[in-house]
Structure 1
Amino acid sequence: MRIVYLHQYFRTPQMSGGTRSYEFARRLVQRGHEVHVVTSDTDSVPDVGPTWRTTVEAGVVVHWAAVPYRNAMSFRARISAFGQFARLAAARAASLEQDVIFATSTPLTIAIPAVYSARRRRVPMVLEVRDLWPEVPIALGALRSPLLRRAATTLEVWAYRNAAHVVALSPGMAAGVRARCPGATVTVVPNGCDRHLFADADTAGRALRDRTPWLGGRPLILYAGTLGLVNDVGYLVRMAATLRRDHPDVRVALVGQGAEAAHVRALAVESGVLGRNLFLLDQVSKAEVVAFFAACDLAVSTVRDEPALHANSANKVFDGWAAGRPVAVNHEGWIADVLRRSGAGLVLPAGDPAAAATLVGAFVTDPARTAAARAAARVVAATEFDRDLLFERFEQVLQEAARQRRTIDPKVRQSPQEAANRS
C-alpha cells in the first residue's frame, strides 16, 4: 500500500513525547508499504527558513511543516497553529500518491486535510481518535463559547462520517465515537508496550540510580510526561508532602515540561518538598526515558477528576508496563479495570492525595508486593499490549480500508508486496 500518515505531533525516539506513530509507520515500511508522514516541526521559528523540510526516518519519508507548537501556548495560539497546519498539510498530503490516508488526532482539525486529500485522490480515509473531542476541552472549560462548541461538535461528526474506519485508543473512546456516529466502523487499538525498547532497561535503571545522589537505593515514584492542565500533577506534589512525613525515604520524580510547570514548581516550594523528596527534571527523549522507568518502583499517570478523561490511553502507563514496572492511576476507567484485574499496579483515590500517599508508601516499601506487581506488569505488557501484536490489528484496518478503493476501482495499482501476497 501507499500510505499517507497525518500526525501534527509526530515524534522519533530521539525526541521527547510519544512515538506510537513512528513505531507503526516504521513497521509498515518493514512490511513493504510506502509511507509518507506529514507532520509539523513544532520547534521551528515562525517566518524563518523554509516552510517544509523532508527527512527519512527508518525508511519513512517525513514531511515537516514549520508550524511552532508548545503545550504552554494560549488557547487562541493553539487554534491558530491547528488551522495553519491543516492548510499546509492539505496541499502536501494531496500532492502525494496514496491508496489510503490515515490521520491521527488530536487535534481533530487533522481530519480537514485528511478528508481534502481523500477526496482529491479518491481514496479512503482512516481516522484515529486519541481523545474524545470536543468532550475533553468542554469538560476542562477550554471551549466555553456555545458557537465554538457547536462548531467543534459539527467537525467531530463530519470527521467520523467521512472516515471509512475509525481507530480508537480505548473502549471508552470507541463508545464515544459510536454514540456520535452510530454507523461508524470502529476498532480499538490502544497504546502499546515497546518491549524491544525496554529490553535492557534494568541496566539503564541501575546506572541512573548510581549517578543520582538523591536517589541511590531509595524507593522511587515516577511521573514522566506533560505537565499540563489535563494532568493535574499538583496531585503528586500534595502526595509527596504526606510521603515526606510518613515515608521520608521515598522519592518522587516529575520528568517533563508543559503549561503547568511553573505552577507545579511553586506548589512544590510552598509544600516544602522540592529538592527534598520531590525532584523536578526537564523532559527527555523517548530513548532516554527508558532509564527513568527502569529505575522506578511505581510509575504514575494522573489526570484531573473529570469523567471525560477516564477513557485516556496515556503512553506513560504502557511505558511503565514495558519496563516491567507497576503503574498507578488516580482515576476510574478501562486502565483502572486492567490494574484491578491483573494486579499490575494501583488505583489511587481521585481528589485525595493524602490517602494516595498512604497507599503508595505502603506499596513501594513492601518488596513482596512490588515483586508480584512487577511480574504482573510483564505479563500484561507481553500478552495484552505488546506493540507488535497491536500493529497486526492496525495494519489490518488499513488493508481493509484500501480494499474498499480497489472494490470500486479494480485498476488501482497494487504494491509488489500485495501482489506477492495474492500469488
Structure 2
Amino acid sequence: MKVLLLHQHYKSPSNGGAIRSFYLMRALVENGITPVVITTHNEKQYKKSFEEGVEIHFLPIAYDNKFAFAARIISFIKFTWSASRLSGKVGRFDFCYAISVPLTVGIAAMWIKRIYKTPFIFEVGDLWPEAPIQMGVINNTLLQKTLYALEKRIYRSAHSIVALSPSIQADIQQKVPDKKISLITNMADCEFYYPQEKPQSINEENIDPTKFTIAYIGAIGIANGLDYFLECANTSRKANLPLQFIVMGEGAERARLTKAAEKLQLKNLLFIEFGNRDKVRHVLSYTDACFICYKNLSVLQTGSPNKYFDALAAGKLVLTNFGGWIKSEIETERCGLALDAHHPSDLVNKIAPFLNDIGLLKQYQRNARALAEKKYARSTLSKQFAGVFSPRTS
C-alpha cells in the first residue's frame, strides 16, 4: 500500500517544533506501508530527500509564524495549488492523507480524489474556519459562509476523518453524522521526554534551579494570549513568590511581549530562543510546571497542543487558563490546575500548596507521567494510526 501525505508544516526531529507527522509516517513504514510526503520549506528551490524510509518532496513556499494573516493565506493557497500539481508526478497511491491546518489542503485532497480516484483521509487538529472567525480575523459574512461550506464539503468528500481531540471529534460528528471519525490525539513521546532531576547549577540561559520554574514552550502567536502569562509573572512578583517564569518559542507576538515584560520590569521572567527537541528537553529539566496558554475563546479549548503531551511525558505539573477537555482531564487525573481565564492572579492562590508541599508537587508530576504512559504513548497511538488505512471502499 502507498500513502501520499499532504502536510505544509512537516518537520523531522532535527528541525524542532511539532513532529507528529514524522512519527505517523514512520508508523506506516513499520507496518509495511510506503509513504510519500509533499511539504514545504523556506528555501528557494524544490528539493527531494529520503529520511528513515520516507520520500519527501519540499516545495519552495515560504511560511513563518511571524507572518501576518494575509501572508499566511497566500502561503496556504500556494501550497494547495503546488501540491495538487505535484501529486500526479510522484506516483499513484491507495490513499491520500491530508493534514490541516490549513483547511485549504482539503481542496488539494479533493482534487486528487477527483483526478486520480484516490480516496483521502482528512486530519483535523484545529477547527477552521471557526478559529479565525472567533479571533476576529475573518469578518466578512459571505466569506465566512463560503468557508463553512468548504469545511463541510471536505468532510463529506473524505473517506474518513481523524480528529485530534474529543471536542473536535464531537464537533465534526454533528456536521457529518454518518462519517467515520477516528480519535487519535497528539502523542506523548515517553522515550524522549521523561522525568529528570533538576540540575544543580544555573545554565547558560540563566535559569535558576533553586526556584520553582513555570515554563511556556511553544508558539508565541496572537491565539496564545501570552499577556495572561506575563500578568501571572507580574502578580507573583508582587506577592513575593519564589517563582521563575520562562517563555521559550518564536512567533509574531514575541517582540511585543518582550517589550511588555521589560516595561513591567519582570525580573522573574526569561525569554529563551526556541530550539530543537534536545534544547526543549534541557529546559524542561529545570522546569517544575508547564503552562498552556490561550486567549479566552471557546474554539481554542478544543485543540490538541503538542506542549500538553510533552509536559505529561516529562512528568510536569500542567497549568492552563482555559476550559474544555484538557481542563477536565488534568483535574480528573490530578496532574494539573486550571486557572481563572479572567484573573491571572488566580495562580498565586492555586500554586501555593505546591510551593509549601513538595510531596504534593511530586504526586501531581507522577500522575502526569502515568497519564502519558497509559493513554498517549507514541507507540500505542502510532499503531492506531496505521489501522486507519483499511482497504479502500470508495
**The TM-score by the shorter chain falls in which range?**
over 0.9
Aligned residues: CA RMSD: 1.7
The aligned counterpart of 2:4 is 4
Is 1:194 aligned to residue 189 of structure 2?
yes
Residue 330 of structure 2 aligns to which amino acid in structure 1? L
Residues 9-59 of structure 1, C-alpha deviations (whole Å, 9 max, x = no match): 111111131110011111211222111111111x33xxxx42x21111222
1:89 aligned to 2:83?
A: yes
Preserved contact between residue 165 and residue 185 of structure 1 (Cα < 8 Å) = yes
TM-score by length of 2: 0.95
Deviations 1:348-398 (A, max 9, x none): 111211112332344245311110011101110000111111112211112
Please give the alpha-carbon distance, in whole angstroms, between the structure 2 residues aligned to 1:147 and 1:379: 47
Any gaps of 5 or more consecutive residues in structure 2?
none
Greater helix content: 1
- Residue 319 (structure 1) aligns with: 310
Offset at residue 142 of structure 1 (A): 0.8
CA contact (8 A) 1:221 1:297 kept: yes
Q: Distance in 1 between matches of 2:233 and 2:22?
A: 35
Distance, in Å, in 1 between the alignment partners of 2:207 and 2:301 is: 34
Change (3 A) 1:317 1:247: farther
Q: Normalised by the size of structure 1, how large is the TM-score?
A: 0.89
Tell me if 1:69 matches 2:63: yes
Q: 2:229 maps to what in 1?
A: 236
Q: Which runs of structure 2 are paired with 1:410-421 in the superposition (5 Å)?
A: none
Amino acid in structure 2 at the alignment position of 1:9: H
SS of residue paired to 1:92: helix
> Using the alignment, how far apart are the partners of 1:338 and 1:55 within structure 2?
40
Aligned residue type for 1:349:
D
Q: State the SS of the aligned residue for 1:321.
A: helix
1:180-238, CA deviations, whole angstroms, 9 ceiling, x for partnerless residues?
A: 22222111111110111125x626x6388555544132111010001101101111100
Contact 1:192 1:386 in 2 (8 A): yes
Instruction: Check whether the contact 1:195–1:381 (CA below 8 A) recurs between aligned residues.
Output: yes
Question: Which runs of 5 or more residues in structure 1 are unaligned?
Answer: 406-423
Map residues 15-414 of structure 1 onto 2, 5 A cutoff. 15-41=15-41, 43-44=42-43, 49-50=44-45, 52-95=46-89, 96-199=91-194, 202=196, 206=199, 209-273=202-266, 276-398=267-389, 400=390, 402-404=391-393
Q: 1:37/1:287 Cα in 2 relative to 1: closer, same or farther (>3 Å)?
A: farther
Corresponding residue SS for 2:319:
strand
Q: Which amino acid aligns with 2:4?
A: V
For residue 98 of structure 1, give the secondary structure of its aligned residue in structure 2. Answer: coil
Query: Post-superposition shift, 1:280?
Result: 0.7
Q: Give the distance between the partners of 1:233 and 1:248, measured in 2 at CA.
A: 20
Cα distance change of structure 1 residues 258 and 210 upon mapping to structure 2, 3 Å threshold:
closer
Would you identify which runs of 4 or more consecutive aligned residues in structure 1 move more than 6 Å?
Answer: none
SS at match of 1:374: helix
- The alpha-carbon distance between structure 1 residues 181 and 57, as it changes in their structure 2 partners (threshold 3 A), is same
